[in-house]
Amino acid sequence: MKKILNYINGEYCEPFSGDWLDNYNPSKGEVYSKIAFSSSVDVEKAYKAAKEAFPSWSNTTAEERSNTLLKIASLIEENLEELAIAEALDNGKPLSLAKAVDIPRASSNFRFFGHAITQFASEAHESVGLNTMNFTIRQPIGVVGCISPWNLPLYLFTWKIAPALAAGNTVVAKPSEITPMTAYLLGDICTKAGLPKGVLNIVHGTGPSAGQAIVSHPDIKAISFTGGTKTGEHIARTAAPMFKKLSLELGGKNPNLIFADCNYDKMLSVTVRSSFANQGQICLCGSRIFVEKSIYEKFKTDFVAKVKELKVGNPFEADTNIGALVSKPHLEKVKSYIDLAKEEGGKILFGGNQVTVEGSENGYYLEPTIIEILDYQCRVNQEEIFGPVVTIMPFETEEEVLKMANSVKYGLSATLWTSNLDRTMRVSKQLESGIVWVNTWLNRDLRTPFGGIKSSGVGREGGFEALKFFTEAKNVCIKYD
Ligand code: NDP
């Protein structure tokens, strides 16, 4: 059976313990490979390689680092087919989605930060009268840790690694143990691109073992983490007393506000996608849908009709819209929320059942599920489900919908559908979230700041924000006569 090895100091190697974890293909519910079960010993080995590589990598010119990153981007593109198949097999997502979104975006991450680093500049402040000139040097931090989740495996892994490397750091990274395959394949791509040994080290294994070892390592000075809010809290508790730099991208429960004056057809088709893309397992999915009362009944009928057309099936079939959920425990968690919805008085307008797919009977498939709720404060509408489940309910006024939208502990993204410019400005300013999409969804320009407020995280990724995170600013003050 295929073994997923660590990638340390430019070479693939077995875990020190000699222990392996099962890696499942969620579309079949079968173990198909083994993952290195790494511990603090492997993380220490990775740290030492990264530490040794740091002086030389941090002294390369921005152009040299840029060239290497651009080579990695090109190699990801050249291997798109193989990487997309690996992602679909490991995660259960439709192959078409991996080909159109996950892998192209992983390549864009390297290409974007390869270019961005050549434009990254710092400020100078002259204090006229005091005869001083201040300038800022932005220096790489050293060895940094990058930890990513399973929903967009290579996409989010590279979203952290690319800016960290571009800024001149060396990296110890851990993908989710649930979806390690494309991170494993990335090692080979980095070697082929000529990334010097030890600059990027990839350690596999569980969060409490390998992940915790990275976060608690005294000399790994910055942690960039994307994952659940509970894990984020744990990481913050570990890292804060060591004064590490922390970037935390956490959970979401994003509202989708639909006003009657919107472009209805466009809204309807995008809302199907923002509800169920990637089986609803995107931190930015709009899982709480609020619809203005005058179009509520029409929306309900049309939305259910559109969602009925979605095909739940094998990720490798071209017409599949919704693949498998990532794991059995996750499927059970999502199903338990559907049960809870019924207990809370919710009405299942569509879906709610596990699906048996012919030829993949043990796979983790679930119907896209629409729940009409009575009270916006019910648990199903407040807690992150992270699956193909949305709630819907009507509203009458802007004030009312803003109150409901802002009622959750999360604040990652929000979507607003309206053609009224005044309303766009009023509502966007009052929504408690890091991102507001108006008449669109998941529209990403990589230069923009990305991140959440409240329990959705701390810090911003994207563009120069990411390069600022992965550098330390130093002020140099010169007095002249
Ligand atoms: P988890 O928090 O369970 O895991 C995320 C990563 O952290 C995994 O690599 C995991 O390892 C690792 N980890 C777990 N425990 C620890 C620990 N004690 N120390 C260090 N690392 C640890 O999240 P999921 O993988 O379940 O991802 C889903 C969550 O991610 C959702 O809440 C979603 O909203 C959020 N997310 C947020 C995004 C954002 O940009 N804000 C984007 C995408 C997802 P392992 O899996 O191997 O145990």
Give the pLDDT confidence of 87-125 residue by residue, as tens digits: 999 999 999 999 999 999 999 999 999 999 999 999 999
The per-residue pLDDT for 34 is 98
Q: Sort strands 2-4 and 170-174 into parallel, antiparallel or unpaired.
A: unpaired
Please give the distance, rounded to the nearest whole angstrom, from the Cα atom of residue 347 to the centre of ligand 1. 31
Going by pLDDT thresholds of 50, 70 and 90, the confidence category of residue 458 is very high
For the CA of 176, the closest atom of ligand 1 is 9
Q: In whole angstroms, what is the distance from residue 221 CA to residue 262 CA?
A: 47
Query: Of all protein residues, whose CA lies closest to atom 30 belonging to ligand 1?
Result: 227
Residue 419: what residue type? Answer: S
Q: Residue 332: what pLDDT?
A: 98
Measured by CA distance, the residue closest to atom 32 of ligand 1 is 228
Confidence of residue 167 (pLDDT cuts 50, 70, 90): very high
From atom 31 of ligand 1, which residue's Cα is the shortest distance away? 228
**Residue 215 Cβ contacting ligand 1 at under 6 Å:** yes
Place of tokens 């390689």: 49
Contact (Cβ atoms closer than 8 angstroms) between residue 386 and residue 395: no
pLDDT digits (tens, 9 = 90+) for 306-334: 999 999 999 999 999 999 999 999 999 99
| Ligand 1 pocket member 362 (CB < 6 A) | no
The closest-lying atom of ligand 1 relative to the alpha carbon of residue 457 is 41
132-157 in b/e form (b: 16+ CB < 10 A) is: eeeeeebebbbbbbbbbbbbbbbbbb
Tens of pLDDT, residue by residue over 207-223, are: 999 999 999 999 999 99
Q: Looking at the CA of residue 330, tell me the nearest atom of ligand 1.
A: 26
145: Cβ below 6 Å to ligand 1? no
Average pLDDT of the residues in 153-175: 98
Distance 250 CA to ligand 1 centre (A): 8
Q: Answer yes or no: is the C-beta of 386 below 6 A from any ligand 1 atom.
A: yes
pLDDT of 251: 97
Whole-number average pLDDT of the chain: 98
Catalytic residues: 249, 283
pLDDT in tens, 222-264: 999 999 999 999 999 999 999 999 999 999 999 999 999 999 9
CB contact at 8 A, 369 and 389: yes
Mean pLDDT across 80-84: 98
20 lines ligand 1 (CB under 6 A): no
List, for residues 26-67, the tens digit of each pLDDT value. Answer: 999 999 999 999 999 999 999 999 999 999 999 999 999 999
Ligand 1 nearest-atom number relative to CA 205: 47
Each residue's pLDDT tens digit, 131-145: 999 999 999 999 999
221 Cα–ligand 1 center, Å:
20
Choose the residue to mutate in 35, 146, 147, 249 for probing ligand 1, maximizing ligand atoms within 8 Å of C-beta. Answer: 147
| Gap from CA of 228 to ligand 1 centroid (Å) | 5
pLDDT attached to residue 367:
98
**What is the 118 CA–ligand 1 centroid distance (Å)?**
31
Q: Which atom of ligand 1 is nearest to the CA of 251?
A: 34
The answer to whether the predicted template modeling score (pTM) of the entire model surpasses 0.85 is: yes
For residue range 353-391, what is the model confidence (pLDDT) as tens digits? 999 999 999 999 999 999 999 999 999 999 999 999 999
Average pLDDT over residues 423-434: 98
Ligand 1 atom, smallest distance to 212 CA: 19
The verdict on the CB of residue 212 being under 6 Å from ligand 1 is: yes
- Residue of 226, 237, 285 to mutate, ligand 1, most atoms within 8 A of C-beta: 226
